[in-house]
Amino acid sequence: MGVADGWVEVGDRVFVRRYAFYDQNIGVILGDGEALVIDTRSTYPQAREIQEDLQELTRFPVTVVVDTHGHFDHAFGNAVFRPATIWGHDRCVTFMERTGEARKPAIARDEPALAADLAEVLIDPPDRTFAESATIAVGGRAVELRYLGRGHTDHDIVISVPGADVLFAGDLVEHGNVPFFGDGYPLDWVATSAAIVPLVSGVIVPGHGDHAGRGFAEGQAVSFERLASLATDVHTGALSLADAIAEHPFPDMPPEHARSGFERALAQLRGELD
Ligand SMILES: [Zn+2]
How close is the Cα of 60 to the center of ligand 1, in Å?
28
CB 167 within 8 A of CB 249: no
How close is the Cα of 180 to the center of ligand 1, in Å?
7
How close is the Cα of 237 to the center of ligand 1, in Å?
31
How close is the Cα of 32 to the center of ligand 1, in Å?
30
CB 165 within 8 A of CB 203: yes
CB 28 within 8 A of CB 14: yes
CB 65 within 8 A of CB 85: yes
Quote the pLDDT of residue 30: 98
How close is the Cα of 72 to the center of ligand 1, in Å?
8
How close is the Cα of 131 to the center of ligand 1, in Å?
19
How close is the Cα of 33 to the center of ligand 1, in Å?
30
How close is the Cα of 152 to the center of ligand 1, in Å?
7
How close is the Cα of 6 to the center of ligand 1, in Å?
22
131-136: long-range pairs with CB below 8 Å, 24+ = 131/89, 131/90, 134/87, 136/64, 136/66, 136/87
- Tens of pLDDT along the chain (274 residues) come to 556 579 999 999 999 999 999 999 999 999 999 999 999 999 999 999 999 999 999 999 999 999 999 999 999 999 999 999 999 999 999 999 999 999 999 999 999 999 999 999 999 999 999 999 999 999 999 999 999 999 999 999 999 999 999 999 999 998 776 678 999 999 999 999 999 999 999 999 999 999 999 999 999 999 999 999 999 999 999 999 999 999 999 888 888 999 999 999 999 999 999 8
Give the pairing of strands 133-138 and 128-130. unpaired
What residues does the ion ligand 1 have nearby, CB within 5 Å?
A: 71, 171
Quote the pLDDT of residue 136: 98
How close is the Cα of 171 to the center of ligand 1, in Å?
5
Quote the pLDDT of residue 87: 99
Non-local (6+) Cβ contacts of 213 within 8 A are 200, 202, 203, 204
How close is the Cα of 71 to the center of ligand 1, in Å?
5
How close is the Cα of 207 to the center of ligand 1, in Å?
8
How close is the Cα of 151 to the center of ligand 1, in Å?
10
How close is the Cα of 116 to the center of ligand 1, in Å?
21
Quote the pLDDT of residue 180: 86
Alpha helices by DSSP H, listed for 207-251, are: 214-236, 241-246
Helix (H, G, I), strand (E, B) or coil at 51: helix
Q: Which helix (H) or strand (E) holds 17?
A: strand 14-19
Helix (H, G, I), strand (E, B) or coil at 274: coil
What is the rounded distance in angstroms from the CA atom of residue 251 to the CA atom of residue 219? 11
H helix and E strand count, the chain: 8, 12
SS3 of 257-270: HHHHHHHHHHHHHC
